[in-house]
């Protein structure tokens, strides 16, 4: 286990929660392992644990996971990584609810919002994470089981009032749904997808959050590796069948060509700053108004070292203009193009 004084990274207040979070957080989706609907292939839990502890030693002070990641396995790996860590060194742990699975079908994902389910999922996450209180519990997706937003948001607010969770938020919800929830109780955080290739949240959701002191932690800033600088058409073609990316249109055909053109535009920016392309991709997201922090995945300490510099990287107007030109010229992705 990594010990000693952690590095200091730039932080920002996470909305009105009272938590100051580093501008990059550890994303624990991939470490959930294989053999479920959107797994990343086989993972080595020992490597995952080393990656988490290394991220904390580098100054990352929050981890984002979810019950559905590996059907509980990601939360269990996070708990193992934090076991024995002194309280003052422990990062915040954020997780998500609202997606359950059929025990007889590991590829199942059922989006639920019934109050009884949300309460039970919170208890299950507390047990797997081995904590008495979850720092942030987020509804993963809008429910598809007939439960209205007011049922699952009300359940989250009650869990907060009961002290089971410190803060509550919504993931993958639009501005209209945010407004509906806000009418019942403050939305502490939003977790939308955001990258140079997926820019939709910039239109309505981020301005909404900025105006209401709702913290924003965005996911997939490297678009699941496409913008990391380590991806290529050859690597896409070689993805394992149990890696969800092998089946996604972003990783095939003309979409892949356009996406890699944007990644290529980040290479000279990285060279100017002496950092990796991965750090540039994450820094691009952090430059968007309203973004508090970015969730970045890693499965080894080396991957953490590849992007952690993004926390302090400020892109120049020239940097941003070059990336914007590549987005426009290639036609890659969706959503507004800054600059």
pLDDT, tens digit (0-9, with 9 covering 90-100), for 305-326: 999 999 999 999 999 999 999 9
According to the model, what pLDDT value does residue 135 have? 98
Q: Which percentage of the chain shows pLDDT scores above 70?
A: 98
Each residue's pLDDT tens digit, 197-210: 999 999 999 999 99
Q: Between 133 and 42, whose confidence is greater?
A: 133
Q: How confident is the model at residue 238 (pLDDT cuts 50, 70, 90)?
A: confident
Rounded Cα distance, 99 and 32, in Å: 14
For residue 168, what are the contacts with CB-CB under 8 A and spacing of at least 6? 136, 137, 138, 153, 156, 157, 159, 160, 185, 187, 188, 189
Each residue's pLDDT tens digit, 90-137: 999 999 999 999 999 998 999 999 999 999 999 999 999 999 999 999
Q: Would you kindly state where each structural domain of the chain is located, as residue ranges?
A: 18-330
Query: 33-47, 150-164, 173-187 — which is least confidently predicted?
Result: 33-47
Rounded Cα distance, 218 and 220, in Å: 7
Q: Between 293 and 33, whose confidence is greater?
A: 293
According to the model, what pLDDT value does residue 107 have? 87
- Give the Å distances, CA to CA, from 75 to 79, 88, 183: 6, 20, 31
- Tallying the residues shown for the chain, one arrives at 339
Each residue's pLDDT tens digit, 2-20: 445 567 898 999 999 999 9
According to the model, what pLDDT value does residue 5 have? 56
Report the chain's C-alpha Rg in angstroms: 19
Each residue's pLDDT tens digit, 216-235: 999 999 998 889 888 887 88
For residue 339, pLDDT beyond 70: no
CATH architecture, domain defined by 18-330: Alpha-Beta Barrel (3.20)
Q: How confident is the model at residue 212 (pLDDT cuts 50, 70, 90)?
A: very high
Buried/exposed code over 244-280 (b: 16+ C-beta within 10 A; e: otherwise): bbeebebbbeebbebbbebbebbeebbeebebbbbbb
Q: Which percentage of the chain shows pLDDT scores above 90?
A: 79
Q: Note whether 80 and 53 are within 8 A (CB).
A: no
């Amino acid at each position: 286990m990594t010990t000693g004084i952690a590095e200091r990274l730039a932080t920002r207040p996470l909305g009105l929660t009272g938590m100051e979070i580093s501008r990059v957080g550890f994303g624990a989706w991939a470490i959930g392992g294989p053999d479920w609907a959107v797994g990343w292939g086989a993972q080595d839990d020992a490597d995952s644990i080393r990656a988490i502890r290394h991220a904390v030693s580098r100054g990352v002070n929050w981890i984002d996971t979810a019950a559905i990641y590996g059907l509980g396995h990601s939360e269990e790996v996070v708990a193992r990584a934090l076991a024995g860590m002194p309280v003052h060194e422990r990062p915040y742990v954020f997780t998500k609810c609202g997606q359950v699975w059929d025990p007889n079908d590991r590829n199942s994902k059922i989006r639920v919002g019934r109050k009884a389910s949300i309460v039970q999922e919170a208890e299950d996450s507390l047990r797997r994470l081995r904590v008495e209180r979850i720092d942030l519990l987020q509804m993963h997706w809008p429910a598809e089981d007939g439960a209205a937003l007011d049922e699952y948001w009300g359940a989250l607010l009650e869990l907060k009032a009961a002290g089971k969770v410190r803060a509550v938020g919504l993931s993958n919800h639009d501005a209209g749904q945010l407004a509906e929830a806000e009418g019942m109780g403050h939305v502490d955080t939003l977790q939308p997808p955001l990258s140079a290739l997926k820019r939709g949240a910039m239109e309505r959701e981020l301005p909404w959050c900025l105006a209401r002191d709702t913290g924003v932690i965005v996911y997939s800033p490297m678009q699941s590796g496409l913008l990391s600088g380590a991806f290529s058409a050859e690597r896409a073609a070689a993805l394992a069948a149990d890696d969800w990316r092998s089946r996604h249109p972003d990783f095939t055909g003309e979409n892949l060509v356009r996406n890699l053109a944007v990644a290529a535009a980040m290479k000279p920016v990285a060279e100017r700053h002496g950092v990796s392309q991965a750090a540039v991709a994450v820094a691009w997201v952090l430059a968007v108004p309203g973004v508090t922090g970015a969730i970045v995945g890693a499965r080894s300490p080396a991957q953490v070292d590849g992007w952690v510099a993004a926390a302090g990287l400020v892109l120049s107007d020239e940097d941003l203009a070059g990336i914007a030109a590549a987005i426009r010229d290639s036609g890659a992705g969706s959503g507004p193009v800054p600059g």
